[in-house]
């Protein structure tokens, strides 16, 4: 006969089993944070390089990100697109990823870095209750992507200084900005981890003599510089025509000049310290803001937030916010349309190196009606 096991032992065993299950689940979640979700290079991709090819010190670090090269095979101008500078601004990452998977340039060469700050994809911002992932439905099934942080993972760079001093200008900022890639340009060879990533990107631009650099961002609807193209003064002629073309497509977009009194920004420092024409795009994202309701994957993807709609009705925002929301598809559509129109504007400006023709990209209205998932590769085994 079996001896009856005391209830307290059974309870302890059940608790141990639950603890083991919790550890297994959490371990899977934790290890998943360090793995890049797959990107499926399309037929336009001619090579995949590493940032360490241009700054070897980044090798074997989470700053060593992929550079996708889309060479048309026809001489012309060159363009660099940066996504994932701030991985909690997913439209920039998804727009860059969609170029890798879909774009086929017909003239010139396109470089794309979807994860500019790869380290920041491995953490989330503290005290924001942000989901670790978001999902986009494609024709072949769902694809899951990391929702990261505005700043480099503190595991890779710690501690933060009490006051961050921008290396090349001496400007002082809050210490937390020491891990913000878009306050670190033009970078520093012997600087901190984030400054070294910025230095690697600037080294790529110099070595390849890249003609146009576009940095993709998102911002809260109550932020003044929103739904905007921000341009270094040397790129203003190209930027102005691009904004006009975007407005002709029905988009609300403004043109801003790079501020001289805020340093470390990609468009300011890359424009000052390299020969590239540097611009940045901002789209309106409710998950970035302080007026939003609960943070969720649905908010990231669908962008529906009644509190922003209410704030809009009181005239408190710098962009209209409909009850239907501002979806990730709309934000990506803005970025892709902006990239295309910058290329068109550059080509019409008769720069001496030739043109950069990005080929046939999905248009703004098409992306708005069909959604970005229709233009991403379906998930598959690599």
**Among residues 296, 339, 294, 299, which one has the least CA distance to residue 321?**
299
**Among residues 55, 54, 59, 57, which one has the least CA distance to residue 69?**
54
What are 292-344's pLDDT values in tens digits?
Answer: 999 999 999 999 999 999 999 999 999 999 999 999 999 999 999 999 999 99
Question: What is the predicted pLDDT for the residue at 29?
Answer: 52
Task: Indicate the pLDDT class of residue 4, thresholds 50, 70 and 90.
Answer: low
**Among residues 103, 112, 344, which one has the least CA distance to residue 216?**
112
Question: What is the predicted pLDDT for the residue at 19?
Answer: 55
pLDDT at 22 over 90: no
Question: What is the predicted pLDDT for the residue at 13?
Answer: 60
What are 254-273's pLDDT values in tens digits?
Answer: 999 999 999 999 999 999 99
User: In this structure, are residues 182 and 52 in contact, taking their beta carbons and an 8 Å threshold?
Assistant: no
Instruction: Write the CB contacts of 78 (distance below 8 Å, at least 6 apart in sequence).
Output: 108, 109, 110, 111, 208, 209, 210, 211, 212, 353, 356
pLDDT at 28 over 50: no
Task: Indicate the pLDDT class of residue 24, thresholds 50, 70 and 90.
Answer: very low
**Among residues 72, 123, 147, which one has the least CA distance to residue 343?**
72
pTM across the whole model: 0.92
Positive or negative, the Cα torsion across 326, 330, 331, 337? negative
Task: Measure the CA angle with vertex 182, ends 164 and 143; round to 5°.
Answer: 130
DSSP track, 339-359: HHHHHHHHHHTT-TT---B--
Sketch out the chain's domains with CATH numbers: 37-375 (3.40.630.10)
Q: For 160, which DSSP code?
A: P
Q: Give SS3 for 175.
A: helix
Task: Measure the CA angle with vertex 371, ends 81 and 37; round to 5°.
Answer: 55
pLDDT at 20 over 60: no
% of the chain surpassing 90 pLDDT: 86
């Amino acid at each position: 006969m079996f001896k009856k096991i005391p209830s307290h032992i059974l309870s302890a065993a059940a608790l141990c089993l639950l603890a083991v299950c919790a550890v297994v689940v959490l371990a899977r979640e934790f290890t998943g944070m360090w793995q890049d979700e797959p990107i499926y290079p399309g037929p336009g991709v001619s090579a995949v390089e590493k940032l360490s090819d241009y700054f070897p010190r980044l090798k074997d670090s989470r700053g060593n990100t992929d550079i996708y090269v889309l060479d048309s095979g026809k001489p012309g101008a060159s363009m660099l697109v940066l996504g994932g500078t701030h991985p909690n601004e997913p439209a920039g990452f998804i727009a860059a990823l969609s170029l890798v998977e879909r774009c086929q340039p017909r003239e010139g060469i396109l470089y794309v870095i979807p994860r500019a700050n790869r380290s920041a994809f491995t953490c989330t911002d503290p005290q924001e209750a942000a989901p670790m992932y978001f999902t986009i439905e494609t024709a072949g099934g769902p694809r899951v992507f990391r929702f990261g942080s505005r700043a480099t993972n503190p595991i890779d760079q710690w501690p933060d200084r009490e006051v961050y001093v921008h290396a090349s200008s001496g400007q002082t900022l809050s210490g937390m900005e020491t891990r913000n890639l878009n306050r670190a340009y033009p970078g520093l060879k012997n600087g901190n981890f984030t400054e070294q990533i910025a230095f690697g990107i600037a080294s790529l631009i110099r070595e390849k003599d890249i003609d146009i650099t576009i940095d993709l961002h998102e911002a809260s609807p109550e932020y003044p510089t929103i739904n905007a193209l921000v341009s270094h003064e040397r790129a203003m002629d190209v930027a102005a025509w691009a904004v006009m073309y975007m407005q002709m497509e029905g988009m609300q977009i403004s043109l801003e000049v790079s501020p001289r009194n805020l340093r470390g920004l990609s468009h300011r420092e890359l424009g000052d310290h390299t020969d590239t024409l540097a611009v940045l795009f901002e789209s309106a994202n409710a998950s970035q803001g302080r007026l939003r309701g609960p943070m969720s994957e649905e908010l990231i993807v669908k962008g529906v937030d009644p509190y922003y709609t209410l704030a809009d009705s009181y005239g408190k925002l710098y962009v209209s916010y409909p009850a239907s929301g501002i979806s990730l598809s709309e934000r990506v559509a803005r970025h892709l349309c902006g990239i295309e129109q910058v290329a068109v504007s550059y080509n019409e400006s008769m720069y001496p190196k030739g043109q950069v023709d990005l080929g046939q990209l999905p248009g703004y209205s098409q992306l708005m009606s069909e959604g970005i998932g229709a233009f991403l590769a379906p998930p598959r085994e690599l």
